[in-house]
Amino acid sequence: MSVHILLLSLTVICAAFAVVRTRVIRAAIMLASISILVTITLFVLKTPLAAIFELSVCAGLITVIFISVISLTNPLTKEERSEERENMFKKFLLLPVIIIVCGVSFYMLTKGINFIPVSGPEAVEVSDKAELWHLRQIDLIGQIIIILTGVFGVAVLFKDNKDDKK
Amino acid sequence: MTVSLIFIPILLVILLNIPRLSGKAAYYAALAFFAYQLIAVFFPEAVGSAQFSQVLGRWFRLNVSADGISKVIIISTAIVAIAALMTSKPFIKYDSRLFSLSNLMLLATAGINGIVFAKDVFTIYVFVEVIAAASYIMIVLDKTESSLEGGFKYLILSSIATVMMLFSVSLFFLVAGGTGFREISDAVRNFGGNTVVMLAITLFMSGLLIKGGLIPFHAWLPGAYGSAPAGVSVFLGGIITKATGVFTLIRFFYSVTGFNDNVKMVLLITGSLSIVIGAIAAITQKDFKKVLAYSSISQVGYIVLALGAGTSLAIAAAVFHIFNHAVFKSLLFVNAAAVEKQTGRRDVDSFGGLGYKMPLTSATTAIAFLSAAGIPPLSGFWSKLFIIIALWSAGCRGFALLAILASILTMAYFLNLQKKVFFGEMSPNLEGVKEAPLSFTIPQIFLCAITALAGVGFFYVIKVLIFPSAGII
């Protein structure tokens, strides 16, 4: 249990850093760190298939895409960054307090809860392959729709329509 | 019907993109699909929907099914989507944007259909995400500062709701050993008092209340509705929040967990707060679309209030009001778009006497307002009447009285809006204004006819669609 708490705490810290970093590249590295921590958590929880997906897709592929895009942008100048950092500190001054308050409140609210319930129904053992490709087909279709939606999101948000009159 | 209404929009999107066709082709393809969806509910054999599902059933084993409530939502979705897409067209300057919007509406509709046919809470979560992603992109379609801000608020609050729902799904999995409706229903029946089950129900309900934009979870809604492109506002206000928030709430409590006293009280209080605060906020607004946005909060409050009664009649009343609200609120958003297109503004104080120049828009707005305020014989009257009867017969008499009194508030802000925009002396700077073009008048007539016919022929509507959906014969 203590390993889980340590891993989850590190994940929250990395997430907070990903938000407050002024250099986008460092924020991307922090996001990759989150994925690595989640991968370790999933391994500890004995779900290797999910861990491998998380590592290869989130920590690997998505980080590569982030870094490729960031390499195409112009970095901030020193002055801009120091100004940004100053604003950032003001903006996120309360972030550690919020994280601590949320963490303590959650602990207080849930400390009386026994998360291992009374003799619940036995989960039927199903292989990962059967779970993914046979029992969860509708969810896979949902994922396909999300990917297609994401493609349109990129097209809408990043495409310049100036020369594209109706 | 079920499988075809999820697969066909996906196939259409693929066909429209490989090779990439024009925005106009995508627009007409999307309109054709929405019309197909509407017909498929009534005649699944005649339009080949049933046969298509059978053929796909050989390769895919989708855990989906349709019931009476699904049918009402599918019909509402198709009606609203047709109106929303037609309203969008005159505002879009670029072919690629029309193309993207048509595709996104197809994908969002596939998402709604997925939620409606789901038999598993994880599937609901996946399709709620589909709709959230598509809605965010549609809101920021114009890439103006206000739309980006509205979209960002929606994205953040929607993500919070999603996290709550996912956490809840994992807790249900822990307790029930699965995420299917049947497993969860059994678990709730066997371990209803377990704190993990109660936490899971609370989290799922809170997530859905955020998605539905109910008070006090409404912070994202006015900004998103107000700043989204005109047609997208029709789609959001007409069906998106109802499918992701209210319908899922009905499905969750009616088909999965059942209502207990605590849940009923939360729904009654949230519904009442939304009705009253939404209506008071609508009175104070100056922006046409924001009045409608706050009015949506108030009207969705009626649906949630009805759910709080927890009886079959209350479910039927809530489903009927979802349908009616989808129609009359879409009509109002179409009319707001028509006024914005013809005059170039939305500040209600800057109009006056617009009814002389836009008589059809003025008349249809009045009909929609009267339906929203619950004036007979329009459809809104019957659903509100059922809500009040359901509350009264369930012993929630105070809440029934509140629902009646709040109708006066609804009447107040709608009369105020109608008077300021369409009645009175004509503002001199509106001299050159003309009636809206066909892209607006067709959906106006279409939606207005549904409001009037569903009101006059309410007996047929409740007998064929509404009462069977709640298991009342």
pLDDT digit string (tens) for A11-35? 988 988 888 877 888 888 999 999 9
As for the ipTM of the complex, it is: 0.88
Phi, psi of B7 (to 5 degrees): -80, -40
Lowest mean pLDDT among A136-145, A154-163, B203-212, B306-315: A154-163
Q: Which residues of chain B have pLDDT under 70?
A: 1, 472-473
**What was the pLDDT predicted at A116?**
61
Do B194 and A165 lie within an 8 Å CB cutoff? no
**What was the pLDDT predicted at B64?**
80
Separation between Cα atoms, residue B233 and residue A164, nearest integer Å: 24
Do B191 and A118 lie within an 8 Å CB cutoff? yes
Closest CA to B274 of B304, B241, B316: B304
Q: Give the whole-number percent of chain A exceeding pLDDT 70.
A: 82
Asked whether residue A151 carries a pLDDT value surpassing 90, the answer given is no
Phi, psi of B229 (to 5 degrees): -55, 155
**What was the pLDDT predicted at B360?**
94
Chosen for mutation from B12, B64, B91, B96 (greatest number of chain A CBs closer than 10 Å) is B96
Closest CA to B257 of B322, B321, B199: B199
pTM for this entry: 0.89
**What was the pLDDT predicted at B161?**
92
Residue whose tokens read 């970095």: A75
> Chain B neighbours among A 71-110 (CB < 8 Å)?
110
Separation between Cα atoms, residue B216 and residue B272, nearest integer Å: 11
Q: Is A137 on the interface with B (CB under 8 A)?
A: yes
**What was the pLDDT predicted at A118?**
53
Q: Is A144 on the interface with B (CB under 8 A)?
A: yes
Q: Is A134 on the interface with B (CB under 8 A)?
A: yes
Chosen for mutation from A47, A140, A148, A158 (greatest number of chain B CBs closer than 10 Å) is A148
Asked whether residue A110 carries a pLDDT value surpassing 80, the answer given is no
In angstroms, the separation between the Cα of residue A144 and the nearest Cα of chain B is 9
**CB of B383 closer than 8 Å to CB of B469:** no
| Region for residue A126 given its phi and psi (left: phi exceeds 0; alpha: psi -120 to 50; beta: otherwise) | beta
Angle of helix B288-309 versus helix B312-343 axis, rounded to 10: 180
For residue B148, what is the nearest residue in chain A, using CA coordinates? A157
Q: Is A113 on the interface with B (CB under 8 A)?
A: yes
Burial of B315 (0-12, 13-18, 19+ CB in 10 A): buried
Q: What mean pLDDT is predicted for residues A141-159?
A: 86
Asked whether residue A46 carries a pLDDT value surpassing 70, the answer given is yes
Q: Is A111 on the interface with B (CB under 8 A)?
A: no
**What was the pLDDT predicted at A37?**
93
Asked whether residue A166 carries a pLDDT value surpassing 60, the answer given is no
Do B61 and A117 lie within an 8 Å CB cutoff? no
In this complex, which of B6, B191, B195 lies closest to A141 when CB atoms are compared?
B6
What's the one-letter identity of residue B151? G
**What was the pLDDT predicted at A161?**
59
Do B61 and A134 lie within an 8 Å CB cutoff? yes
Q: Which two tokens stand for residue A47?
A: 């779900």
Report chain A residues whose CB lies below 8 A from the CB of B197: 117
In this complex, which of B7, B100, B129 lies closest to A156 when CB atoms are compared?
B100
Burial of B290 (0-12, 13-18, 19+ CB in 10 A): buried
Separation between Cα atoms, residue B461 and residue B473, nearest integer Å: 13
Asked whether residue A120 carries a pLDDT value surpassing 60, the answer given is no
In angstroms, the separation between the Cα of residue A166 and the nearest Cα of chain B is 4
In angstroms, the separation between the Cα of residue B60 and the nearest Cα of chain A is 7
Closest CA to B272 of B422, B411, B387, B426: B387
Cα dihedral A93, A99, A100, A106, rounded to 10, equals 160
Domain ranges of chain A: 1-74+86-111, 128-158
| Confidence band for A123, pLDDT divided at 50, 70 and 90 | low
| Confidence band for A127, pLDDT divided at 50, 70 and 90 | low
**What was the pLDDT predicted at A72?**
78
Do A141 and B10 lie within an 8 Å CB cutoff? yes
pLDDT digit string (tens) for B24-68? 999 999 999 999 999 998 888 877 877 887 888 778 877 788 888
Q: Which residues contact B133 (CB under 8 A, 6 or more apart)?
A: A146, A149, A150, A153
Do B196 and A134 lie within an 8 Å CB cutoff? no
Question: b/e string for B2-12 if b means 16 or more Cβ within 10 A?
Answer: bbbbbbbbbeb
**What was the pLDDT predicted at B47?**
79
Q: Is the peptide bond before B216 cis (omega within 30 degrees of 0)?
A: yes
In angstroms, the separation between the Cα of residue A154 and the nearest Cα of chain B is 9
A87 alpha-carbon distance from chain centroid: 24
Asked whether residue A109 carries a pLDDT value surpassing 60, the answer given is yes
Select the more confidently predicted residue: A59 or A45: A45
Do A139 and B123 lie within an 8 Å CB cutoff? yes
Helix (H) or strand (E) holding B3: helix B2-17
Do A138 and B114 lie within an 8 Å CB cutoff? yes
**What was the pLDDT predicted at A95?**
76
Handedness of CA B43, B47, B49, B50 (dihedral sign): positive
Burial of B254 (0-12, 13-18, 19+ CB in 10 A): buried
In this complex, which of B63, B130, B176 lies closest to A121 when CB atoms are compared?
B176
Do B196 and A135 lie within an 8 Å CB cutoff? no
Chosen for mutation from B27, B137, B240 (greatest number of chain A CBs closer than 10 Å) is B137
| Confidence band for A122, pLDDT divided at 50, 70 and 90 | low
Do B133 and A150 lie within an 8 Å CB cutoff? yes
Asked whether residue A2 carries a pLDDT value surpassing 90, the answer given is no
For residue B115, what is the nearest residue in chain A, using CA coordinates? A142
In angstroms, the separation between the Cα of residue B69 and the nearest Cα of chain A is 20
In this complex, which of A113, A123, A148 lies closest to B199 when CB atoms are compared?
A113
Asked whether residue A128 carries a pLDDT value surpassing 70, the answer given is no
**CB of B188 closer than 8 Å to CB of B254:** no
Q: Which two tokens stand for residue B114?
A: 């997925």
